[in-house]
Amino acid sequence: MGDRAETKKLTGSEIIIRALQAEGVDTVFGIPGGAVLPLYHELAVSSIRHILTRHEQAAAHAAEGYARATGKPGVCIATSGPGATNLVTGIANAYMDSIPIIAITGQVGVDMIGRDSFQEADITGITLPITKANYLVKNIRDLAATIHEAFYVATTGRPGPVLIDIPKDVTTQRAAFHYPPKLRLPGYRSRVEPHALQVAQAAAAILAAEKPLLFIGGGVITSGAHEEVRRLAEEQDIPVIMSMMGKGAFPENHPLFVGMVGMHGTVAANYAVCETDLIIGIGVRFDDRVTGKIEAFAPRAKIIHIDIDAAEIGKVISAHIPIVADARQALQAILGRLTEKREHPAWRQRIRRWQEEHPLRYDKCGLKPQYVIEELYRLTRGRAIISTDVGQHQMWAVQYYPVDRPRAFLSSCGLGTMGFGVPAAMGAAVARPGETVVAITGDGSFQMNIQELATLSHYRIPVKIILLNNGYLGMVRQWQEFFFDRRYAYSELGGNPDFVKIAEAYRLPARRVAAREEVIPALQEALETDGPFLVEVLIDREENVFPMVPPGGTLNKMVTGGRQE
């Protein structure tokens, strides 16, 4: 990047633009407002593309989609007060899933801070628990260095969101632009190289195991360790299970792939966890939706836990061999010690038998969401980038749209944010032009950010929306069916609009599907149409997601198709 200094004094807004350009930013998402008008004045004549979303929450989710699809930090901008607070859900979502975004917010003038000024909010205080770092820049001389530091912190170690709050008067003051070529943060260190003794212990444990399992999560994708995971699995004959964040880190059509583990994981993956003698957890948090009842999780297994964040080690599940390091470097070191190959034919055969006896299945009668997703997979040949909202459709997408490459499945996993899917798909489509991007959503989630149809329409962003409409908050209704005596308290979405007419009002082509034979023609039309397209599918209203581990239950006690396994 080099040392970038100019003797000519620039406004704070010009410095922000120059700093973003120095970081390689080509696109930002946001909405202007009073406190950021000077910045927008300069943004309009810069080389950076601005996507005007219709809500700040959508701007944050779009920045997330950009980051998830590329690995580069996404950038969103909002004005002070309500503009900034509208970013909070998106920032929290990025924090839970370790996604690098930079949120730039306007603030009232320095002299007005703390006076309850118009559109003032303490956004750094509000976001302190949900950002990796945040900054209030009161001096223009600190502006460029702060932006440089923010990008560095957001993208190194365990990634995450960083917020920069900039008072309006700082954006209009003038100073020389100096962008430091190097960054020195004495209090910020991230261990990336694994400890040799722990590597040796991990290699020995892998060679000694009779029933090993590779458990992969989002950290594999973040570190770019998917090839090392494949090598380890193939050379040591180790079956692979994943968390939802790990979808795409290992090809799902591979003979060693077992499935997602946890509440809506496959029977084979959950049974394997209950019998394995070694779990190699890579870039995973051992989330409660994965483990079920913690005391009963992997009762026979030794645990190797590899994670770049030391705070994750032992937080939920105790690790026998903890390795605090970058996943790729740790796996490369372990592979370097595994000079002999292993085979586990009996273990593989046992897992294969579970897969044959307990495949994913559904009743083929009626218009089923699983069928829609299967046909979407077939028509796209599995090459689409899939973004989902949260709920039943999210689980069906995980189960019935196999992914064989990283950064091709985007979903809100840790926070579980309805309204994420469409704006995240928007960000992904902007980041990766020419690729097919599909947002799979439900009628509840879709209405959380339905206004982004205007953004899709205005910029002709070619997101294909598959709206699975059952007239319910589907996952809420499913829980009410199983755990609350079928009392569907306020989960039925009475008063849903005509979604096709809504799309057409936004000048988006749309089509409604009410019968099974209409599915393929509708999907084909959507995929062949230039620009965005909405397909609304009227699915069976009380279709459930199976398998399902009841909350607080154990992984070997699943409900599948209405019966307990």
Structural contact between residues 410 and 554, judged by C-beta atoms closer than 8 angstroms:
no
* CA atoms of 404 and 230, how far apart (whole Å): 11
Per-residue CA distances from 110 to 117, 170, 196 (Å): 11, 8, 50
> Quick one: tokens of 174?
């003038």
Question: How far is Cα of residue 458 from the mean position of the Cα atoms in its chain?
Answer: 25
3-class state of residue 51 by DSSP: strand
Per-residue CA distances from 292 to 287, 481, 483, 550, 561 (Å): 9, 20, 16, 8, 19
The one catalytic residue in 1, 6, 9, 118 is: 118
The one catalytic residue in 21, 72, 112, 119 is: 119
User: 181 phi and psi, to 5 degrees?
Assistant: -75, -25
The Cβ of residue 496 has, within 10 Å, a number of other Cβ atoms equal to 15
Alpha helices of 157-291 — where are they, by DSSP H?
168-172, 196-208, 218-223, 226-236, 267-275, 288-291
The greatest distance separating any two alpha carbons of the chain, rounded to the nearest whole angstrom, comes to: 74
> Quick one: tokens of 368?
């089923």
Is 481 catalytic? The answer is no
Structural contact between residues 527 and 509, judged by C-beta atoms closer than 8 angstroms:
no
* CA atoms of 541 and 559, how far apart (whole Å): 19
Is 118 catalytic? The answer is yes
DSSP string, 385-414: EEEE-SSHHHHHHHHHS---STTSEE---S
Contacts for 403 with CB less than 8 Å, ≥ 6 apart: 247, 248, 251, 252, 382, 386, 409
The one catalytic residue in 96, 149, 168, 546 is: 168
The one catalytic residue in 14, 23, 42, 56 is: 56
DSSP string, 275-305: H-SEEEEES----HHHHSSGGGSSTT-EEEE
Contacts for 505 with CB less than 8 Å, ≥ 6 apart: none
Is 198 catalytic? The answer is no
Question: How far is Cα of residue 254 from the mean position of the Cα atoms in its chain?
Answer: 23
The one catalytic residue in 395, 475, 548, 558 is: 475
Is 302 catalytic? The answer is no
* CA atoms of 330 and 323, how far apart (whole Å): 8
Structural contact between residues 147 and 170, judged by C-beta atoms closer than 8 angstroms:
no
> Quick one: tokens of 58?
């959508």
- DSSP 8-state assignment for residue 248: T
Structural contact between residues 283 and 220, judged by C-beta atoms closer than 8 angstroms:
yes
Is 341 catalytic? The answer is no
User: 148 phi and psi, to 5 degrees?
Assistant: -60, -45
Contacts for 423 with CB less than 8 Å, ≥ 6 apart: 53, 57, 58, 59, 61, 62, 65, 449, 452, 455
> Quick one: tokens of 213?
């399992």
Instruction: Tell me the catalytic residues.
Output: 56, 118-119, 168, 475
